[in-house]
Amino acid sequence: MSFLKWEPLSSEEEQKVLYAISEAELKTSGEIRVHIDKWCKTDPVFKANNLFLHLKMDKTANKNGVLIYVAKKEKKFAIVGDVGIDAVVPNDFWDEAKEHMTNSFRSDDLVGGLCKGIQLVGEQLKEFFPYENGDINELPDEISYG
């Protein structure tokens, strides 16, 4: 996949990312979503935080939603978590996921980077927000596009 031309994910690529989300959420009560934009004309963390609210990700009971935001053409991205996560995790909590995603994105492997990042986010979340019996999926497992 090339980052030079705007193409939302193909159906097959989208299914891979959605599968990664569903697998990661089996380990944690946290909620993970992905948003892909063509461009990001501002700081990606700023944009991700705005989208987090717009997508109503702040409405989970445990305040443990995570948004992975990607500006595809610019190869910019951010991982942001809700206040419940930020209150209990160290500042470098997402660094391993970010490193893997950065390396994949530099190699034009958007889907591989997203899937590995989602997997790592799920593993990290389970330490602080393990899956609980009766856990319900509070947010849709979907990819949004801008």
pLDDT at 105: 92
140 lies in some domain: yes
End-to-end CA distance of the chain: give it in Å, rounded.
18
102 lies in some domain: yes
Nearest to 64 by CA among 134, 146, 1, 127: 127
Q: How many CB atoms lie within 10 A of CB 91?
A: 7
Amino acid at 39: W
1 lies in some domain: no
Full domain range(s) for residue 98: 11-145
CA angle 5, 115, 72 (to 5 degrees): 20
Distance of CA 54 to the CA centre of its chain: 15
pLDDT at 5: 47
Split into its structural domains, the chain has a count of 1
36 lies in some domain: yes
**Tens of pLDDT along the chain (146 residues)?**
444 445 689 999 999 999 999 999 999 999 999 999 999 999 999 999 999 999 999 999 999 999 999 998 888 999 999 999 989 888 888 999 999 999 999 999 999 999 999 999 999 999 999 998 888 889 888 899 98
Q: Phi and psi (nearest 5°) for 107?
A: -90, 15
73 lies in some domain: yes
5 lies in some domain: no
State the pTM of this model: 0.92
**Dihedral sign of CA atoms 98, 3, 142, 82 in order:** positive
31 lies in some domain: yes
How many Cα atoms sit within 13 Å of 70 on the Cβ side?
30
pLDDT at 4: 46
60 lies in some domain: yes
Query: Which of left, alpha, beta for 75 (phi over 0: left; psi -120 to 50: alpha)?
Result: left
pLDDT at 141: 86
CATH number for the domain spanning 43: value is: 3.10.310.50
How far CA 58 is from CA of 28, 44, 112, 115, in Å, comes to 17, 18, 27, 23
pLDDT at 140: 86
DSSP state of 28: B
